[in-house]
Amino acid sequence: MQTDAQHKQVCSGCCADSRQALFRELTAAPPPESSWEVGASCNFMIAASRLGLRVGCAGHCGDDVYGDFLRTILAVGAFSS
């Protein structure tokens, strides 16, 4: 089995290429917006906070259909706590 360092030596970007290809495939024909969710990481942070842990979040919205969706949801406040 290769270590990460060994893989990086022989990988000429194949993993990045695979991720980019998958991302293109997912954004080419996204599922209906009615099936999208925006709360998974926040739900985790809320649960951790309720257990007494200190939590924080940093993120970004991509320049794609999913980022557009998230910006729209945040702009109209269409989420519940």
Residues 81 and 53 both lie in one domain? yes
Q: How many CA atoms lie within 13 A of 41 on its CB side?
A: 7
Say yes or no: 70 and 43 in one domain. yes
Question: Do 49 and 23 have their domain in common?
Answer: no
36 shares its domain with 24: no
Pair (61, 77) in one structural domain: yes
pLDDT at 78: 61
Residue 54 sits in the same domain as residue 24: no
| pTM assigned to the model | 0.46
Structural domains in the chain (count): 2
Residue 40 burial by CB count (10 A; 0-12/13-18/19+): exposed, middle or buried?
exposed
7-58 per-position pLDDT tens digit: 555 565 667 788 888 878 877 887 888 887 767 778 888 899 999 999 888 8
State the residue range of the domain holding 14.
1-30
